[in-house]
Amino acid sequence: MDDEEVARRRLAVQRLHGEPFDHAEGVVRALLAVQAQDVEPSEWSIGMRAADATLDSIRAAIDGGALLRTHVLRPTWHLVHRDDLRWLLSLTAPRVHVRNRPRYADLHLDAALLDRAAGIIREAVKGTALSRAEIGEVLTDAGIDGASGQRLAHILMYAELEQVVCSGPRRGTTQTYAALDELAPDAGTFDRDTALRELALRFVTGHGPATRGDLQWWASLTAAAADRALDAAGDVLVRVEGGGRTYHLAPVPEPPAPPRPSVLLLQPYDEYVSGAADSRDVHDPGDLLRAARWPRYSGLVTLDGRLVGSWRRHVRSAHVDIDLAADEAFAGAAGEALERAAWHYATFRERELSRLTVGAP
């Protein structure tokens, strides 16, 4: 299996070409989690993969609790379906705490204080949803000093990882926190081996072909745990060699060849990139993500599955402007594919595309 086939299969399983998913929930269930430290870009990651996912329908799924935004897998936010959140947190939260331990220490957040703060938050959100600022006030009133800024952010992350809170409905543009018990009731007994097998199956099916390293980084696993997960799923997953790597993939029908040229405007942490930390060179053979000469705009541009530039959008009341910095000229058919991708984004945002520019990096 060469790099071109790996990229082609990943584009297909993630529905970045071919038949889209039916709706927002289907996208998130298939990918298992969608990285979402910035809400608006994560909405686009879902929208570009689903036939009927409008901005309003995605926000309704989040505000209604079908999709929950919380810290899981790594020290960042993800959107996860409520049916998957409990077992994912049980499996990955201990390792995320390990990764957070130096930062907890820097912020003078010891275990006793974090547990006390989580208990206060649990009581505060019963039957309601509170903003970050409101939770900070509750903690300050309870005698916890410095409940703001990064200190408050890490207290809240701890509470999320401990299954106390997750995202609540938005108040306008303000994010809130709500009780996880009220949005995703406890499903009962957690079995680590069963969860590891489910993780490997779901990750590879939604992101593969994938390496052990891809899974390990994505879910904050140890190398031993990643091997254990893939071995447990070995009765379903297939192992193939390519480019000096061992890939794992689900036995799905041969994916159709993508249209060429094909252009995608991805959010910077789209699962197409985030799900391939160990094998990123398949998508980024020029190592553009680390190239100092290449400006980090608000998103990534791919041409036929390869990373070739970055893009940024300026969303106005009735229109959107899109600017690219790219190694490609995007002339002829590639230019037409880029324009289609830009119109797709503008339509999703319910705007007119008023400007599309391409410049050198």
What is the pairing mode between strands 352-359 and 319-326?
A: parallel
How do residues 67-88 score in pLDDT, each as one tens digit?
Answer: 999 999 999 999 999 999 999 9
261: preceding bond cis by omega (within 30 degrees) = yes
Q: What is the DSSP string of 50-111?
A: BSS--HHHHHHHHHTTSEEEEE-SSSSEEEEEHHHHHHHHHHHHHHHHHHHHHHHHHTT--H
For residue 89, the one-letter residue type is L
pLDDT at position 175: 94
Give the tokens for residue 85.
């959140």
- pLDDT at position 295, please? 61
pLDDT of residue 195: 97
Quote the pLDDT of residue 188. 81
pLDDT in tens, 14-69: 999 988 999 999 999 999 999 998 889 999 999 999 988 889 999 999 999 999 99
Q: What is the model's pLDDT at position 167?
A: 97
Q: What's the gap between Cα 33 and its chain centre?
A: 6
pLDDT along the chain (361 residues), means of 10: 92 92 94 94 95 90 96 97 96 96 96 97 98 96 90 97 97 94 88 97 97 98 97 96 94 82 94 95 86 68 92 92 89 95 95 92 70
What Å distances lie between residue 100 and 36, 59, 109, 153, 219, CA to CA? 18, 29, 11, 12, 14
- Residues near 132 by beta carbon (within 8 Å), at least 6 away in sequence: 152, 153, 156, 175, 177
Nearest to 35 by CA among 289, 303, 269: 269
